[in-house]
Structure 1
Amino acid sequence: MTGNLYRGQAGLPFSSTLRVYEPLDAFPEDQRAAIKSAGERAVSRAAVENAELQASLGRITRPGGDPFPTGRTDLVRVTRAPGVPVEGAAKEGEEEAADGVALLYCPSQLVLRAGLAANALIEGIHGPLAELLIPEEQRDRHQERIDQVNARDGITRVHTRASTWGIPFSWFSLFLESDPQDVVEAGGKILTVRVWAPISDALDRVRYAVANLALAAPDLDMLDDLTQLTEWLELFHADSMVELDYGAVADKVYPDDSPMDVRLGIECLAEGDMTGAAAAYRRLASRWIPIRQLARAS
């Protein structure tokens, strides 16, 4: 299955994701049964990744040219919260894995995310090209789907952020090199690397970065990114986990010292060590700028 995943991604842009997994009781009560059921249908993580990839490719070639997901089904990723045992019977609303560790869920929310992505694309290009890429009729039809989701679920937290052709430096501020990680390999290739951190740790780290940059480098663009990241994470349950999924770009950069370089760069700025900060940035740039240049390669 993992091999199919890698071959399916061949020729596609590198895509990386930042996900938040929440306990079942963090979701509205009327959504819990559907989320739990979707999680139980996920035979393996590779199966979920393949199903999502195949569905996205199918939408591109769908008759009528509508690229948007319909929302009839929504995939759910499931993970366990290491070090958070559920003693005795599971708490109300919580699910328990076979080893007594709480299960956490991350719904794909493709309808909402597709709408956000389309809006960002349209804002960036405007005019006839926007109409050619995503005709207004299709955007209006998808807005109806979004309205249905909002009417059914109310205000919804979007659990996934995605980035193509590289990982935003701000994301690395959430993790340490000592955090748990999973390296997924097949056929001599690294398919992905996934790194996890409890959301409480991730928030402490990003708040530290915001506080130091606000004093040392208030004009740095990364400060805005870190602030938005903090506000996003604050929406979620305190027992959540944050996952950075490198995707296929991992094969180009792993082993990756980016979390350490981001942390060292911020610490150097806070201490007024411009030489150290510049050295950390050079290491990051030498690693990631060649990846981002691939977006413009022919």
Structure 2
Amino acid sequence: MAAIGPAATGHTFPYVSFLRVFEPLEAFSDAQQLVILEQRSRDRKDTEGIERNNSLQRILRQVSDPFPHHGADLVRVLHFPGANGVTAQYYCPNQLAVRTSLAAESLGQTIRGPLVDVLLPEAATDAHQARLDPETVAETTAKLHTRSATWGVPFSWFVLIHEDDLTEVIEDGGKVRTVRVTAAVHECIERAKHAMASLAIAAPELDLLDDLTDIIEWLQLFRLDAVVELDYGPVADLVFPDESPMDVRMGIECLSEGDMTGAAASYRRLASRWIPIRQLARAN
């Protein structure tokens, strides 16, 4: 059977975006470093292609089983300029086995009835759990390098980045396949804390405040020389060039200054951009 590649499959659907943290090699255990060293020379495009094809193979199994089986975890490599101006390599392990377990638990809590057994057969779930090392699972769950979101980018993620951050636009066949924005983790934490301080006074009832609290706690698990990447995924083709980071920042600034008109205008711009995308989740 011929391999199914990006050209054959087109965009990923539903739209999935990612928030990732990349760390230098020395941040990882000896065992993790061996896995990283084996993959550090692979191009990012090739890594994304491997993950996409592996995902399709799991979906197309004759027996329903969405879980990954044995195999080395994929590692993404990021080239980012350090404070000294020298570009260095940073790494983000995919941690797919644990992330899949957490996603299955979440799905089981949101979907009831026979559909759960179709999507997550008990035999496949039990076999997946048996393949996992409890110690590795506990360690990985405590420090996941990747967060994902479907049908749009959470507004809290936009607080972490600015429009002048390092931005990479990936295009293919006249379409924007994804946009990746990167920033140093300590800058992201400072931006989130500043936004939290403003919201705590001006709008403590907003869910965004709780979201930022959670994100800060997560980012503080990593080294201060780590790098954060917002990967829009295929939704970038619908929104790029995107002014959402500036709209979120301006909205928070307007709230802190008591400018309700300006805050409402910022929200309207965000809503006009993202609500139609999120409505696709309920479309037939």
Corresponding residue number in structure 2 for 1:140: 126
Q: Displacement, 1:129?
A: 2.6
Q: Is the 8 A contact 2:11 2:177 kept in 1?
A: no
**Count of residues paired in the alignment:** 278
CA distance in 1: counterparts of 2:98 and 2:105, whole angstroms? 11
AA in 1 matched with 2:20: R
What per-residue deviation string (whole Å, max 9, x for no partner) do you get for residues 127-179 of structure 1? 33322321222222222333x1x424761211111111111111000000010
Q: What fraction of aligned residue pairs are identical, expressed as a percent?
A: 53
Corresponding residue number in structure 1 for 2:62: 63
AA in 2 matched with 1:161: R
| Structure 1 moving runs of 4+ over 4 Å | none
Q: Is the 8 A contact 2:20 2:146 kept in 1?
A: yes
Corresponding residue number in structure 2 for 1:97: none
CA distance in 2: counterparts of 1:31 and 1:162, whole angstroms? 22
For normalisation by structure 1, the TM-score amounts to 0.88
Corresponding residue number in structure 1 for 2:221: 235
SS of alignment partner, residue 268 of structure 1 = helix
Q: Displacement, 1:61?
A: 1.3
SS of alignment partner, residue 212 of structure 2 = helix
Give runs of aligned pairs for residues 25-174 of structure 1, distance below 5 A: 25-40=26-41, 42=42, 44-85=43-84, 101-146=87-132, 148=133, 150-152=134-136, 155-156=139-140, 157-174=143-160
AA in 1 matched with 2:232: Y
AA in 2 matched with 1:158: L
Q: CA RMSD in A?
A: 1.8
Q: Displacement, 1:201?
A: 0.4
Q: 131-140 or 188-197, which moves further after superposition?
A: 131-140
CA distance in 2: counterparts of 1:207 and 1:133, whole angstroms? 39
Q: 1:284 aligns with which of 270, 276, 284?
A: 270
What per-residue deviation string (whole Å, max 9, x for no partner) do you get for residues 191-224 of structure 1? 1111000001011011111222122211111111
What per-residue deviation string (whole Å, max 9, x for no partner) do you get for residues 197-254 of structure 1? 0001011011111222122211111111111111111111111110111111111101
Over 3 Å counting, the alpha-carbon distance change for 1:224 and 1:46 in structure 2 is same
Q: 214-223 or 8-17, which moves further after superposition?
A: 8-17
Corresponding residue number in structure 2 for 1:5: 6
SS of alignment partner, residue 139 of structure 2 = coil
Q: Displacement, 1:79?
A: 1.1
Q: Is the 8 A contact 1:85 1:102 kept in 2?
A: no
SS of alignment partner, residue 81 of structure 2 = strand
CA distance in 1: counterparts of 2:232 and 2:271, whole angstroms? 17
CA distance in 2: counterparts of 1:13 and 1:84, whole angstroms? 37
What per-residue deviation string (whole Å, max 9, x for no partner) do you get for residues 11-30 of structure 1? 62111111110001111233
Corresponding residue number in structure 2 for 1:92: none
Q: Displacement, 1:85?
A: 4.5
What per-residue deviation string (whole Å, max 9, x for no partner) do you get for residues 12-62 of structure 1? 21111111100011112332111221223x2x1111111101100100112
CA distance in 1: counterparts of 2:8 and 2:265, whole angstroms? 37
CA distance in 2: counterparts of 1:154 and 1:38, whole angstroms? 24
Q: 66-75 or 126-135, which moves further after superposition?
A: 126-135
Q: 1:178 aligns with which of 164, 168, 178?
A: 164
CA distance in 1: counterparts of 2:192 and 2:112, whole angstroms? 34
Over 3 Å counting, the alpha-carbon distance change for 1:71 and 1:106 in structure 2 is farther
- Work out whether 1:19 is the aligned partner of 2:20: yes
CA distance in 1: counterparts of 2:221 and 2:12, whole angstroms? 35
AA in 1 matched with 2:257: E
Over 3 Å counting, the alpha-carbon distance change for 1:227 and 1:142 in structure 2 is same
Over 3 Å counting, the alpha-carbon distance change for 1:116 and 1:9 in structure 2 is farther
Q: Is the 8 A contact 1:14 1:248 kept in 2?
A: yes
- Work out whether 1:268 is the aligned partner of 2:269: no
Q: Is the 8 A contact 1:111 1:145 kept in 2?
A: no
Q: Is the 8 A contact 2:73 2:96 kept in 1?
A: yes
